Homo-oligomer: A and B are copies of this chain.
Amino acid sequence: MAATRLLSDAEVEKIPALKAVFDDIRATRKSDFVNNFWRGLANDPALLKRTWEQVKVVMATESAIDPLTKEMIYIAVSTANGCSYCVHSHTAAARAKGMTDAQHGELVSIIGLAGQTNHLVTMVPVDPEFEVK
């Protein structure tokens, strides 16, 4: 199901602001495939551009957290938010960046454990020891 139109390549080609972003997505990812997420955002060129630029900066290769860990963190947030689309797309991305079956199993275990303890802790006040001053 879709609640918004997904723009085709033919439609994107006609609008320079969209074409520029799609070209950059393809060049950055070294792949012709542009997934539905971007085709939905393409209904609003400014939102598309802003979102892509943010993704490029935050998920960039050169940084204090390695690219595979970044994808695993992304999967963790997306799972907790129940975002099936993002779990699918970022699991694919994590595998493409070398996530092993053992790492995936542990990732899922941590996510499940955190999901559990997050539910267990609602009744308890934060210890003052954890406060940053």
Which residues from chain A sit less than 8 Å from chain B, CB to CB?
A: 1-6, 33, 35-37, 39-41, 43-44, 46-47, 50-51, 54-55, 57-59, 63-65, 69-70, 72-74, 76-89, 91-92, 100-127, 129-133
A2-B131, A88-B123 known, 13 other contacts, Cβ within 8 Å: A3-B123, A47-B109, A51-B112, A63-B106, A64-B100, A64-B106, A77-B119, A78-B122, A79-B122, A84-B122, A84-B126, A85-B124, A115-B118
* A40 interface neighbour in B47, B88, B92, B124, Cβ under 8 Å: B124
Are A113 and B72 within 8 A (Cβ)? no
Are B73 and A118 within 8 A (Cβ)? no
What separation, in Å, do the CA atoms of A64 and B78 have in the docked complex?
Answer: 21
Are A91 and B123 within 8 A (Cβ)? yes
- A72-B69, A105-B43 known; A127 vs B81 contact (CB < 8 Å): no
When distances are taken between beta carbons in the complex, the residues of chain B under 8 Å from A108 are 44, 47, 120, 123
Are A122 and B76 within 8 A (Cβ)? no
What separation, in Å, do the CA atoms of A109 and B100 have in the docked complex?
Answer: 25
The 22 sampled A-B contact pairs (Cβ below 8 Å) are A1-B84, A1-B126, A3-B87, A3-B132, A6-B124, A36-B125, A40-B123, A40-B124, A41-B120, A44-B105, A44-B106, A58-B106, A64-B103, A73-B107, A76-B80, A77-B118, A78-B118, A81-B115, A82-B82, A85-B126, A88-B131, A111-B119
